[in-house]
Amino acid sequence: MTFAHHRRHVLADSEKTGQKEKKFYYGWVIVGVIALAGFANSAETLPVISIFLKPITEDFGWNRSIFTGAITAGTLIGGFFSMATGPIIDRYGPRWVLVISFILLGALLMAMAAISTLWHLYTLQVMARIVAMGAIGLTVTSVVPKWFVSKRGMAVAVSGIGERAGQTITPLYAQLLISSHGWRPALLVTGLVTWAVSIIPSLLFLRRRPEDMGLLPDGATPFDEATSSTVKPTPNPNHRDVNFTVKQVLRLPSFYLLATGLTLMSLPTNGLMFHLVSFLTDREFSAGYAVIVLSTFSTGGAVGSIVFGMLVGRFNIRLTMTANYLLIGIGYIILLTVHSPMLGLAWGFLHGILQGGSFMMQQVIFADYYGRHSLGAIRGITRPAQMTTNAIGPLAAAIAYDATSSYGLVFSIFTVIAVIAAVFIFSALPPAAPETKQTEPS
């Protein structure tokens, strides 16, 4: 057998092997588990917590600022906690971070069903927010981008459906339980559901990165790697598998521009989400209708995650995010004109599409710009500032409402902030690839 014939035979066998391996890629299992984790974590997100705002404050005679203060404190502390969580995810993987965190989160939600004083609320809610924001929230946004490069946008989009589904379904059954049995049984059931959908899948199926299983990102095979430069073009030129170290990233202007844009946008996004149900019921809509709008918003978020997942595979993600932020800003003004049920539902779905796309692109752009290997640590650095505005948004809206009995002024300010955030994202040009190849964390 000649050398040329032998080489053709080897390549043919490699191609067949690659085709067999491509039939199933374990990264999609990771996507499914992260989707379940997002569903479970939705119990401590602002759209769901907002369902309990009125019944708890009315039961105890607290105002909205006092209730929101617990959310604010826990979110702020969670942001700083995530700085330690990020490197742990990069080095050891997400499995035990999520398993331990979900055990704690479910227990804290169930314990909140028994509160009788303000310090009970603050203790439990602060701890729950630390777990949800400082550990779970960072983990679920850092895992999937490590398993994909060219398919990153769609993979992140699919994984994000879990949280959007949770934000759609959880408010519906929570409100049903609140209406029929009160907020205490609703919190108890929410904690049990959190345990049921998260702990076992996270324990059994989560892995750190494809290389740990002898795999390559996107399900590529060694044959693909060996021939991609001469046989086929890069599947998606908008995604790059570059890898910066944390020290390198901290010297890049784009990092600070991106971080500032995302940090600013977190303020109006979370301020609106926490007060949407209250805003609608203040306009004489029923609590049931308000929750339907919230669920419609979350359903739109799932659609938006997929839609924008396809868009970032085709178009420049920086420009797509800029347009997304500008449209979100316009949405705050439109909300102030909502007085009819149909307009409220239409607004909820369309604004949800934009918000779902925004959340998905936040995860993708950091991985596209700075790579997979230190993604947890890089995202962890941005979290304290982002969680600060995450906390300030709901509190600022609550204070504004308590002072003016209206959300008009604060929602208008939210529009201005969204526009400023869009300018920062537009200015964040992607960095050139590092000159030397970086090793990934051991």
The one-digit pLDDT tens for each residue of the chain (442 residues) are: 444 454 455 445 545 544 544 578 999 999 999 999 999 999 998 778 888 988 999 999 988 788 888 888 898 898 888 888 989 999 999 999 999 999 999 999 999 999 999 999 999 999 999 999 889 999 998 899 999 988 888 999 999 889 888 988 998 899 899 999 999 999 999 999 999 999 999 999 999 999 988 898 888 765 555 444 443 444 455 555 678 889 999 999 999 999 999 999 999 998 888 888 888 988 888 988 988 998 899 889 989 999 998 898 888 999 999 999 999 999 999 999 998 999 999 999 999 999 999 989 998 999 999 988 888 899 889 988 988 898 888 888 888 888 888 888 999 999 999 999 999 999 999 998 876 554 444 4
Q: Which domain holds residue 211?
A: 8-427
Contact 155, 45 (CB under 8 A): no
Count other C-beta atoms under 10 Å from residue 406's C-beta: 13
**Per-residue confidence (pLDDT) for residue 256, from 0 to 100:** 96
Q: Is residue 78 in a domain?
A: yes
Q: Is residue 388 in a domain?
A: yes
**Residue 399 vs residues 173, 403, 416: alpha-carbon distances, Å:** 29, 6, 19
Tokens of 286: 């029923």
Which position has the token pair 């303000």?
A: 118
Predicted TM-score (pTM) of the model is 0.77
Q: Is residue 2 in a domain?
A: no
Q: Is residue 72 in a domain?
A: yes
Q: Is residue 441 in a domain?
A: no
Q: Is residue 433 in a domain?
A: no
Q: Is residue 400 in a domain?
A: yes
Residue 427 CA to its chain's centroid (Å): 23
Tokens of 320: 């797509």
Domain count, the chain: 1
Q: Is residue 439 in a domain?
A: no
**Per-residue confidence (pLDDT) for residue 64, from 0 to 100:** 77
DSSP string, 313-377: TTS-HHHHHHHHHHHHHHHHHHHTT--SHHHHHHHHHHHHHHHHHHHHHHHHHHHHHH-STTHHH
**Per-residue confidence (pLDDT) for residue 6, from 0 to 100:** 46
CATH number (domain holding residue 108) = 1.20.1250.20
Which position has the token pair 């009995």?
A: 405
The amino acid at residue 124 is L
